[in-house]
Every structure is written in structure tokens, then in C-alpha cells.
Amino acid sequence: MKILDRYILTTYLKTFLSVFVILMLIFVLQAIWLYISELAGKDLDFDVVIKFLLYVTPTLIPLILPLTILLASIMVFGSFAENYEFA
């Protein structure tokens, strides 16, 4: 693998992972906000809430992946263009 290819790949993967984590956090908070009426006031254990979050997160991945790919691509290539790395 060439040095340039490795540089582009590592930059993209770093940005991809950070955007994915941020979007996952936003979508999980939105899911909690949607189901807060069912969760609050029921005297549920913390384990039940964590299990609920673990069941919700796989359903969010198909929603988050296209956004993550788009945002990471725009951010990486925008950064490259800003720093004249494609010139």
C-alpha cells in the first residue's frame, strides 16, 4: 500500500469512527427521549435500562451508517482541500 493511500485511509477511518460515535450518542439520546415515558416512574433497575439501550443500538446502525459515510467523506475531503493536499 502506498504512503498516500495509507494516509487517506487512516484519516478517513479516524473521522469515520469519531462521527459514528457522535451520531450514535445523538440517536441513543433521541431514543431515550422517545421512550422516557415508558421507562420513568416504573421502578426499573439500572440493568433493565442498559439492556434496553443495548437492544436499541443495533436498530440505529442502518440509520447512522449512511450519515456517517457522507459526513466523514465531506469532512476528510474538505480538510484535504483546505490544506491544499490534493493540489
Closest CA to 23 of 55, 77, 69: 69
Percentage of the chain lying above the pLDDT 90 cut:
71
For the chain, the domains span 3-82
Whether 28 and 64 have beta carbons less than 8 Å apart is answered as: no
> pTM of the prediction?
0.86
Contact 84, 23 (CB under 8 A): no
Is the pLDDT at 87 greater than 80? The verdict is: no
pLDDT tens, residue by residue, 23-34: 999 999 999 899
What does the pLDDT average to over 11-34? Answer: 96
> What are 37-80's pLDDT values in tens digits?
887 877 788 898 899 899 999 999 999 999 999 999 999 999 99
The rounded mean pLDDT for the chain is: 92
